[in-house]
Structure 1
């Protein structure tokens, strides 16, 4: 690092680097959060202690200009602004007709007044591309603005963002899922289900039964609850503190819902005992409460199994993290249309749904998970079983 206050002789010369007074000298850790990225890089380079500098940037962060002011106030020196001839990229005036460039790049260069000699080629075989020309135009524009303002290009390129603290809900979500990922040995099994029968029955019920507007998710909840009763080893919670497994006689299905406060999982309790109409009405009510942040604790705490459905966003498949203390969670993607063979060997088009079960291997083994997925597949491919 540069030593203490500069001498009178050094002040008279044009400074090429910072002269840092002893009062401001001191390394700054790389994870210092109270400064802009440019200010932090400068502090590390010049061995400047940022803790003694007041920040005037967004959210009180220390900027490069704050460092310059503090150094000058303490009697040190700073380099001249990046407005000197040697520090500004001068525009070329030579003939650029021999520069390798794409036709589009040449047209855009003519429109923007960019000499291709100034562009950094990034295309194949060293050719200048349209993006290279636009980057050059942007660079010259920033340098012109920096000259006019007497500042540096880096200061103008400072990213515009806002630091938003985590809400209490988001903190809890993060802590619970991190603990689940660290403590629960996740393993996953995926099964593909032909959804045509479900789609046909849903359409028929919505058309023929007054007041019924079933969703695919409603039918998934009913099918999952039926599969949990048939394979009760998955319908459990794991009491980690006491090293015991809590077995349940009814399926309380948690449904992941995106709310303004973050992910929340309202519960359809006793889904195995409820009709599709009852499940549909309850899901709509719980989702409305979740988005209005009016759920009471009993409506989202507990549950024996969770369904996380991202199919409405076009996600084909994904892995979900278990919602503790539950032992499993089902990730549901979007149905995909595929060609396949019909019962008579003819080519048919089917709606295929990918389902991925994440399980806690401490309490759910692979064979158990496979049996559950087989039961779920059977209920979805023969949905009339859900009506009896």
Structure 2
């Protein structure tokens, strides 16, 4: 890309635009040696759409609906219960290095395990999942990971951190078999991650503009100029997926007047998990992202991960709390920056943008220029036998 004369871009700006261009290559995950395995991806796709992994009949696809940009269109996720946060898209989620709004997982496969055991999401547990693998997916599991370990007669439910005394007792009674259950559970996450790793956004009108093969509509071009120049959205929304993958406190009010600890609690949960990069089930030899992770870092308080913007027009409502109904509402928030944070401090680089209605409309037009080409239909439903 040497020049795009319609906007008189500087050499520095052209470099920024090139950095935003889509990179279709999947990201390697050293912690999951099955990440690029086509058999694991097919198995993971079957698991993603399998409601039988949940006692409540909730599949991963219940909240991550392909027809809604892999979200559910609700302010807060609704599965077996109601979650505290908005469902983030998994389109392009494989980029990492941290997952969930609060970064409480450090791999895509660890992220896939979280909803399974969240009472508000799938309401399941690792023993229930292992039982279903034995009963419904033993052959497919063995084709990827080898024969199932000897699990014996498993209880119906059980997990090591359950608040239910019966479930906690059932887990403790497993003894050494608990390690085998954990191994099966981790492999379920690795298979689902192998499938999700294929959900890379397609090219957009913006990418073709950067390549010089397609012009942007005038409003979208003005929006792109604002995005890169005066509004400086690119300071956080950068790279091929338009996210810095970092965590920021925007000072958004929480529903009910409480506050969400955000990255602070997310970092604590990550470090405590047996499924993190340092755990027995990780295939990574080194875990640099965990080396200096400090949950007590002041900037982590009520900070949340910057979402990517590819396909963002399909993922309303917006923000971690789902409290902004439209993209114009999001831009109006950044225009005024109302209120003060309930906890922590607002991201220091944020200043009120003072956008006019016309400028907000231009930015929305640019965000539509990021709408991706459709994924292959074969990825959007359970695999055919």
Q: Indicate the TM-score class for this superposition, using the shorter chain for normalisation.
A: under 0.3
Instruction: Say which structure is richer in strand.
Output: 1
Q: TM-score, normalised by structure 1?
A: 0.19
Higher-Rg member (1/2): 1
Q: Which has the higher contact order (CA 8 A, sep 6+)?
A: 2
